[in-house]
């Protein structure tokens, strides 16, 4: 048996247990198990940095399910891995190189990619360490990376297949361009933020009509060099007769057509719109419709190009200022207004997005989306919280083509080759045989193009592996709600398309962690705690428990590390309870096993099973906070506050049976510890090892969860003990309120309830000891009888009247006040009941039981009030 030191030292225990678990391979599923499988594939963290509190929460959630299922008769696989995180990682490495004044071009593609691999190794090791440290029960033998050979093969295979089916195509489109990273992005990688800007009203002269202008309103004057039309709404009377004429583009002095189209919003600005097909998605559509020239004036670095004349080579924002200056000189600025609008930024790099016309690869998503939408709507896949299905549905029904090419070097290079001489296109998993005649498309694929295959590519797809057969589809995906489109939706699409199966049955969207002020955690704010430091300070279990305990399904969680006191204090409580039980058991010499169990023993077993029931229900509904709360309350309130206190008394009274008493108590404690293991794996393992003799390589990890026995839930025992608890609390209350705390005093409990009398007569010693009174007298009174005890303090709990003998030092004024307060409360309560009962509608329509209940309440309260009144008057 392990020794339990006086205080629990998380750090040393954790490191030791991590080794113990790993050595014994508890987390590798048994190959020939007949047990049903349960599988989870980890959302792969990016190899760019550290795990955040959000990761800890997410991985705790997964660990809870993995450990719970493992202890509940399942063969569990939790498969770990990491994501190469294309743009994010490349940006970080480039930034690091920049500190040494090196650009990726200095190194060249091959050397640069080598550098990124080096970086990846470092961060990968770091992340793995953190995952291990938090106790994640993943199977490291199956670890994957989105760019390892198997997964790369899957990526190519999928690309080629989709290309051949015609779902993947290459085309010139306006896409979201990041001028800093100089790559295309998908719509999802663009985040919109409010920006204070200016709205410029610019006068475009009408050709051959001196002094006549059309004033357009724009936030982007610098793009005017690319204007190839001015558009108004045909219904706009202000501009009737204008369409068909021409406007003169200022500065450039070029005539461009004036067109009329319903698309133009008459309420915005002046109702006249400059049309710049190369630099605005909507304008592009308009341009196509009217066959307008598409003139690009900003290049891929965000600078003006040769079409901008004297402004060429100038950065777009600088050019804006200069263009406005020039227009002002020309007297063509009508006015400039403040204007707040939403502007797109790169999710990773933070640069302002430029709508940019370029050749990119796209996936047509419509066909893929349909079955994926159905899988969720039909309930084949379940979302928790359920409301996310609406968001999913909305996105899936309005899905747009996915731009998958990135002008980066870090990632899966597109498996397409162009023939150097005849321009043929070759798209296969294997490169062309005469490679020297071909050139591979330099672009890489969007990171998510490998992530969307993750649940099955990690299990060996496209090969028909054993893992795929055994563990796929998976049971649970736990992930952050903000990647529902990026990832969850796409995984469902890819899985259905390529494996014909759903990737997972349940999707749990975990809580978003914020700081104590409600702000998002971010590096720039410096409000993201170092998780290892928090684990060192409070213990990993404390962090895990606290996170789960504070996280009701579907909410944002305001977190600060101080809150980990909740978990730390709970761990401390557990630890001390165990130490106490062991100490008492060892101290007890008695060998008598024949002590009689009483209602408290029955009660604690009932409470345990009650707790198991609540716990199972909560876990099956993904309400982990409720599961952890159920355990917290059982262990702290029921077991420690009441049951152990009762056992102290009992053991004193039956010293010969004490050993048996405490060893039985340890059995119950063991059950609670097992239930708690999925949330707090370290301390529960340590306690499990400590409270009983175990064989050397045995572990709570592979022990069996306590099984719910509904028959052991006893409403009678729970009611009786609740009565006793309330009586005890009432007596303590009388004592403290009336400042009798230090006085022993005598108690009389009187009731008409004969089973209550019988019950209490079995346990006066508990009441006596727990309230520190010297005598308890239990009296049976007749139904209508009112027992009065002059000069005894009085209170009522349920059917029980409680009298406490006053000593000389009682304070009549204080006591009168207390009685008065209580009487006021009772009167107002009675008023509300009477009102209800006087209500014709209530009496005629409410169920009989409810009415009866109200009547009973009323008479009980009346009786109580009478008694209090007499007490009051006697003082």
List contacts with RNA (CB under 7 A): 7-8, 187-188, 191-192, 342, 387, 390-391, 394-395, 398, 400, 482, 485, 518, 520, 550, 552, 554-558, 565-566, 568-569, 571-573, 576-577, 579-580, 583, 626, 636, 640-641, 644-645, 648-649, 652, 728-729, 732-733, 736-737, 741, 839, 841-842, 844-847, 850, 853, 856
| CA–CA gap between residue 860 and residue 855 (Å, rounded) | 9
| Minimum CB–partner distance for residue 875 and RNA (Å) | 20
| CA–CA gap between residue 167 and residue 777 (Å, rounded) | 86
Tell me, what DSSP letter sits at residue 46? B
Tell me, what DSSP letter sits at residue 487? I
* Closer residue to RNA, CB minimum distance, 96 or 400: 400
Concatenated DSSP letters of 497-521: HHTSS-SEEEEEEPPEEE-TTSPBP
* Closer residue to RNA, CB minimum distance, 191 or 252: 191
| CA–CA gap between residue 355 and residue 146 (Å, rounded) | 29
CB 484 within 8 A of CB 391: yes
CA distance to 78, 443, 642, per residue, from 137 (Å) = 7, 37, 34
| Minimum CB–partner distance for residue 655 and RNA (Å) | 11
* Closer residue to RNA, CB minimum distance, 201 or 842: 842
Does residue 707 sit in helix, strand or coil? coil
* Closer residue to RNA, CB minimum distance, 118 or 653: 653
| Minimum CB–partner distance for residue 639 and RNA (Å) | 8
* Closer residue to RNA, CB minimum distance, 59 or 771: 771
Q: Which two tokens stand for residue 59?
A: 């991985």
Cis peptide before 462 (omega within 30 of 0): yes
Concatenated DSSP letters of 440-472: E---EE-THHHHTTHHHHTTTTTS--HHHHHH-
| Minimum CB–partner distance for residue 183 and RNA (Å) | 18
Q: Compute the chain's Rg from CA coordinates.
A: 37
| CA–CA gap between residue 298 and residue 312 (Å, rounded) | 9
| Minimum CB–partner distance for residue 587 and RNA (Å) | 9
| Minimum CB–partner distance for residue 33 and RNA (Å) | 35
* Closer residue to RNA, CB minimum distance, 69 or 650: 650
| CA–CA gap between residue 239 and residue 242 (Å, rounded) | 6
Q: Which two tokens stand for residue 231?
A: 């558009």
| Minimum CB–partner distance for residue 126 and RNA (Å) | 27
| Minimum CB–partner distance for residue 512 and RNA (Å) | 8
| Minimum CB–partner distance for residue 841 and RNA (Å) | 3
* Closer residue to RNA, CB minimum distance, 121 or 565: 565
* Closer residue to RNA, CB minimum distance, 83 or 626: 626
| Minimum CB–partner distance for residue 20 and RNA (Å) | 23
H helices within 677-749, ranges in order? 681-691, 715-737
* Closer residue to RNA, CB minimum distance, 157 or 650: 650
* Closer residue to RNA, CB minimum distance, 74 or 575: 575
CB 636 within 8 A of CB 573: yes
- Which residue is associated with the tokens 């009329």? 260
405: CB partners within 8 A, 6+ apart: 184, 360, 361, 414, 441, 443, 444, 445, 446
| Minimum CB–partner distance for residue 648 and RNA (Å) | 5
Q: Which two tokens stand for residue 685?
A: 């393992």
Among 351, 353, 399, 348, which residue's Cα sits nearest to residue 372? 399
Among 584, 579, 547, which residue's Cα sits nearest to residue 564? 547
| Minimum CB–partner distance for residue 629 and RNA (Å) | 7
User: Computed from CA positions of residues 366, 371, 374, 376, in that sequence, does the dihedral angle turn out positive or negative?
Assistant: negative
* Closer residue to RNA, CB minimum distance, 172 or 394: 394
| Minimum CB–partner distance for residue 35 and RNA (Å) | 31
* Closer residue to RNA, CB minimum distance, 24 or 576: 576
* Closer residue to RNA, CB minimum distance, 198 or 390: 390
Q: What are phi and psi of 682, to 5 degrees?
A: -75, -60
Q: What are phi and psi of 39, to 5 degrees?
A: -135, 145
- Dihedral (Cα; 241, 246, 249, 255), 10-degree rounding: 180
- Dihedral (Cα; 748, 754, 759, 762), 10-degree rounding: 70
**For the chain, how far is it from start to end, CA to CA, in angstroms?**
61
User: Of how many residues is the chain composed?
Assistant: 875
| CA–CA gap between residue 6 and residue 538 (Å, rounded) | 17
700: CB partners within 8 A, 6+ apart: 71, 673, 674, 677, 684, 685, 688, 689
| Minimum CB–partner distance for residue 52 and RNA (Å) | 16
Q: Which two tokens stand for residue 519?
A: 């702000």
Residue 748: count other Cβ atoms within 10 Å of its Cβ.
Answer: 18
* Closer residue to RNA, CB minimum distance, 368 or 564: 564
* Closer residue to RNA, CB minimum distance, 556 or 698: 556
| Minimum CB–partner distance for residue 115 and RNA (Å) | 32
| Minimum CB–partner distance for residue 573 and RNA (Å) | 5
| Minimum CB–partner distance for residue 187 and RNA (Å) | 4
Q: Which two tokens stand for residue 155?
A: 């990526």
| CA–CA gap between residue 846 and residue 830 (Å, rounded) | 19
* Closer residue to RNA, CB minimum distance, 323 or 644: 644
Q: How far is CA 275 from the centre of its chain?
A: 44
* Closer residue to RNA, CB minimum distance, 248 or 672: 672
* Closer residue to RNA, CB minimum distance, 398 or 422: 398
| CA–CA gap between residue 158 and residue 155 (Å, rounded) | 5
| CA–CA gap between residue 184 and residue 105 (Å, rounded) | 18
Q: What are phi and psi of 392, to 5 degrees?
A: -60, -50
């Amino acid at each position: 048996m392990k020794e339990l030191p006086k205080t629990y030292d998380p750090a040393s225990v954790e490191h030791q247990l991590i080794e113990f678990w790993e050595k014994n391979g508890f987390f590798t599923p048994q190959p020939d198990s007949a047990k049903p499988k349960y599988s989870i594939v980890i959302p792969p963290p990016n190899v760019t940095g550290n795990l955040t509190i959000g990761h800890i929460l997410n991985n705790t959630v997964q660990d809870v399910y993995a450990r719970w299922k493992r202890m509940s008769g399942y063969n569990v696989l939790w498969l770990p891995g990491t994501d190469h995180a294309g743009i994010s990682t490349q940006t970080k490495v480039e930034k690091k190189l920049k500190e040494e004044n090196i650009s990726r071009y200095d190194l060249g593609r091959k050397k640069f990619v080598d550098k990124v691999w080096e970086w990846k190794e470092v961060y990968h090791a770091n992340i793995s360490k953190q995952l291990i440290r938090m106790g994640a029960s993943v199977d490291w033998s199956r670890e994957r990376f989105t760019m390892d050979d198997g997964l790369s093969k899957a990526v190519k295979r999928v690309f080629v297949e989709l290309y051949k089916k015609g779902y993947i195509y290459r085309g010139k489109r306006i896409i979201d361009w990041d001028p800093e990273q100089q790559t295309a992005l998908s719509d999802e990688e663009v985040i919109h933020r409010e920006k204070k800007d200016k709205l410029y009203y610019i006068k475009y002269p009408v050709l051959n009509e001196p002094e006549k202008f059309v004033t357009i309103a724009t936030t982007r004057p610098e793009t005017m060099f690319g204007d190839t039309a001015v558009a108004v709404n045909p219904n706009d009377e202000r501009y009737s007769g204008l369409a068909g004429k021409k406007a003169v583009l200022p500065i450039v002095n070029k005539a461009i057509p004036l067109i009329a189209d319903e698309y133009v919003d008459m309420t915005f600005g002046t109702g006249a719109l400059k049309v710049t097909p190369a630099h605005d998605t909507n304008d592009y559509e308009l341009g196509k419709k009217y066959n307008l020239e598409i003139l690009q004036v900003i290049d891929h670095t965000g600078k003006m190009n040769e079409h901008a004349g004297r402004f060429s080579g100038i950065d777009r924002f600088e050019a804006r200022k200069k263009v406005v200056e020039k227009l002002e000189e020309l007297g063509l600025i009508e006015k400039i207004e403040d204007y707040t609008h939403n502007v797109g930024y790169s999710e990773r790099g933070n640069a302002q997005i430029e709508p940019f016309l370029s050749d990119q690869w796209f996936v047509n998503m419509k066909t893929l989306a349909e079955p994926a939408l159905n899988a969720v709507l039909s309930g084949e896949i379940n979302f928790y919280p359920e409301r996310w299905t609406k968001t999913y549905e909305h996105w899936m029904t309005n899905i747009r083509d996915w731009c998958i090419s990135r002008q980066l070097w870090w990632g899966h290079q597109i498996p397409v080759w162009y023939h150097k001489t005849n321009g043929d296109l070759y798209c296969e998993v294997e490169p062309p045989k005469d490679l020297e005649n071909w050139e591979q498309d330099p672009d890489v694929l969007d990171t998510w193009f490998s992530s969307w295959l993750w649940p099955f590519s990690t299990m060996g797809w496209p090969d028909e592996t054993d893992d795929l057969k055994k563990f796929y589809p998976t049971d649970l995906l736990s992930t952050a709600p903000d990647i529902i489109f990026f990832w969850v939706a796409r995984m469902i699409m890819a899985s259905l398309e390529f494996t014909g199966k759903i990737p997972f049955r349940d999707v749990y969207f975990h809580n978003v962690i914020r700081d104590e002020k409600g702000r998002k955690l971010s590096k720039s704010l410096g409000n993201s705690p170092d998780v290892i430091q928090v684990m060192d300070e409070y213990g990993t279990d404390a962090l895990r428990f606290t996170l789960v305990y504070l996280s009701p399904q579907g909410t944002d969680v305001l977190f600060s590390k101080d809150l980990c006191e909740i978990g730390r204090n709970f761990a401390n409580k557990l630890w001390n309870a165990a130490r106490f039980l062991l100490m008492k058991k060892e101290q007890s010499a008695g060998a008598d096993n024949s002590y009689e169990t009483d209602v408290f023993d029955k009660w604690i077993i009932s409470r345990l099973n009650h707790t198991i029931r609540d716990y199972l229900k909560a876990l099956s509904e993904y309400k982990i906070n409720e599961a952890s709360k159920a355990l917290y309350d059982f262990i702290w309130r029921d077991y420690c506050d009441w049951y152990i206190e009762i056992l102290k008394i009992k053991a004193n009274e039956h010293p010969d049976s004490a050993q048996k008493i405490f060893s039985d108590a340890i059995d119950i404690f063991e059950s609670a510890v097992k239930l708690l293991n999925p949330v707090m794996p370290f301390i529960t393992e340590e306690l499990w090892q400590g409270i009983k003799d175990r064989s050397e390589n045995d572990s709570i990890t592979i022990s069996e969860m306590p099984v719910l026995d509904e028959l052991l839930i006893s409403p009678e025992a729970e009611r009786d003990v609740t009565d006793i608890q309330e009586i005890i609390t009432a007596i303590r209350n009388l004592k403290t309120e009336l400042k009798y705390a230090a006085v022993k005093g005598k108690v009389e409990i009187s009731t008409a309830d004969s089973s209550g009398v019988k019950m209490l007569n079995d346990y006066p010693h508990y009441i006596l000891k727990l309230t520190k009174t010297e005598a308890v007298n239990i009296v049976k009174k007749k139904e209508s009888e009112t027992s009065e005890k002059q000069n005894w303090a009085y209170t009522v709990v349920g059917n029980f009247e409680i009298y406490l003998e006053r000593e000389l030092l009682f304070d009549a004024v204080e006591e009168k006040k207390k009685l008065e307060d209580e009487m006021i409360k009772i009167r107002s309560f009675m008023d509300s009941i009477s009102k209800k009962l006087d209500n014709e509608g209530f009496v005629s329509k409410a169920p009989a039981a409810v009415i009866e209940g109200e009547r009973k309440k009323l008479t009980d309260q009346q009786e109580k009030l009478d008694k209090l009144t007499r007490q009051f008057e006697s003082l």
